[in-house]
């Protein structure tokens, strides 16, 4: 399990997380959703150990504050919203950075990660010549290389992804979410900050819906993604529908014209 208890985070004069609790299970994709400024990224950064905070975070039963950086790197990989490179690395060199914590990295791990994200043919290109979406996938490949297999010698490994599809077209959004789904199905754990509620409904097993620095609701996608709950979180009127059984005609009024 990845668990947080009573997380409080203050940045400057603002308290952005208020006594927050959170749980994610291996074998599942857990989405963190909510409006801008609700504390999604801040919660993920506390879960990853990147921000000092009040409260306690445990990863597979161990308090992350007791782990050495290389131990934490072996157990979880973090994809931030944006990453800046100070040097003109090739795409392959960027991915190989993810292996720097490993004493004996698996041969070919970086190339396999690039292939998984559809970037093997860009291995020798400088990262700064890639498109924004390609760079985002290259950093995902770095994270995949870092954690390796979804399950380690004695415990699951974790992907912590902050808006992993924000710069991607629809085909690559589906590709990246399928990577997350496959990682969870193989026994690993995935926690992803998501804005796209439709992709969340398609791929996530559970959702924590944030509002005002606190979880407003947590549970399965069916339990959390209701018109009333989403409307309270986002401050607007929403109507959540569901597709009919296969073979039943389905007409969306948004496609109609007068």
Q: What is the pLDDT of residues 234-250, one digit of tens each?
A: 998 888 887 777 787 76
Tokens representing 68? 């050495």
Give the residue, 256 or 156, on which the prediction is more confident.
156
Tokens representing 218? 């947590």
Q: Give the pLDDT of residue 239.
A: 84
Half-sphere exposure in the Cβ direction for 122 (13 Å, CA): 22
Rounded Cα distance, 95 and 114, in Å = 8
Tokens representing 97? 């950075």
Work out the average pLDDT over 72-96.
90
Q: Give the pLDDT of residue 257.
A: 67
Instruction: Note the pLDDT tens digit of each residue in 16-49.
Output: 999 999 999 999 999 999 999 999 999 999 999 9
Instruction: Note the pLDDT tens digit of each residue in 123-145.
Output: 999 999 999 999 999 999 999 99
Q: How far is CA 25 from CA 117, 132, 198, in A?
A: 24, 31, 22
Whether the per-residue pLDDT at 256 is higher than 70: the answer is no
Tokens representing 119? 């970037």
Q: How far is CA 72 from CA 48, 115, 227, in A?
A: 9, 25, 38
The three-point CA angle 82-88-90 to 5° equals 90
Q: Give the pLDDT of residue 258.
A: 60
Longest dimension (CA), the chain: 65
Pairing of strands 14-24, 2-11: antiparallel
Tokens representing 206? 């559970």
Is the domain spanning 2-255 CATH 3.40.50.1000? The answer is: no
Rounded Cα distance, 38 and 17, in Å = 9
Domain map (residue ranges) of the chain:
2-255
Q: Report whether 227 contacts 239 (CB < 8 A).
A: yes
Give the rounded percent of residues in the chain with a pLDDT score beyond 70.
Answer: 95
Whether the per-residue pLDDT at 106 is higher than 90: the answer is no
Instruction: Note the pLDDT tens digit of each residue in 159-195.
Output: 999 999 998 999 999 999 999 999 999 999 999 999 9
**Does pTM surpass 0.85?**
yes
Whether the per-residue pLDDT at 104 is higher than 70: the answer is no
Q: Quick one: pLDDT band at residue 254, thresholds 50, 70, 90?
A: low
Rg for the chain (alpha carbons), in Å?
19
Whether the per-residue pLDDT at 255 is higher than 70: the answer is no
State how far Cα 233 lies from the chain centre.
Answer: 20
Whether the per-residue pLDDT at 105 is higher than 80: the answer is no
Contacts by 173-176 with C-beta closer than 8 Å and gap 24+?
A: 173/199, 175/117, 175/118, 176/117, 176/137, 176/140
Work out the average pLDDT over 93-113.
84
Instruction: Note the pLDDT tens digit of each residue in 46-80.
Output: 999 999 999 999 999 999 999 999 999 999 999 99
3-class secondary-structure state, position 218? strand
DSSP code per residue over 53-110? -EEEEEETTEEGGGS-HHHHHHHEEEE-S----SS--BHHHHHHHTTTT-SSPPTTHH
């Amino acid at each position: 399990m990845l668990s947080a208890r009573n997380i409080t985070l203050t940045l400057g004069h603002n308290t952005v997380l208020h006594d927050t609790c959170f749980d994610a299970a291996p074998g599942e994709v857990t989405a963190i959703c909510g409006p801008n400024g609700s504390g999604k990224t801040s919660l993920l950064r506390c879960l990853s150990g990147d921000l000092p905070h009040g409260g306690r975070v445990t990863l597979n039963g161990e308090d992350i504050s007791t782990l050495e950086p290389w131990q934490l790197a072996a157990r979880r990989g973090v994809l931030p919203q944006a990453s800046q490179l100070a040097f003109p690395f090739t795409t392959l060199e960027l991915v190989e950075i993810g292996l720097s914590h490993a004493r004996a990295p698996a041969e070919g791990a970086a190339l396999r990660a690039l292939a998984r994200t559809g970037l093997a043919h860009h291995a020798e290109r400088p990262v700064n010549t890639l498109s924004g979406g390609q760079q985002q996938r290259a950093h995902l490949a770095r994270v995949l290389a870092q954690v390796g297999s979804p399950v380690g010698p004695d415990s699951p490994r974790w992907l912590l992804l902050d808006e992993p599809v924000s710069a991607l077209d629809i085909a690559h959004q589906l590709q990246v979410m399928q990577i997350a789904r496959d990682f969870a199905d193989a026994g690993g754990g995935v926690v992803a900050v998501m804005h796209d509620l439709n992709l969340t409904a398609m791929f996530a097993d559970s959702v924590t819906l944030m509002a005002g620095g606190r979880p407003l609701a947590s549970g399965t996608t069916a339990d959390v993604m209701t018109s009333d709950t989403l409307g309270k979180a986002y401050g607007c009127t929403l109507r959540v529908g569901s597709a009919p059984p296969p073979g039943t005609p389905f007409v969306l009024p948004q496609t109609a014209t007068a």
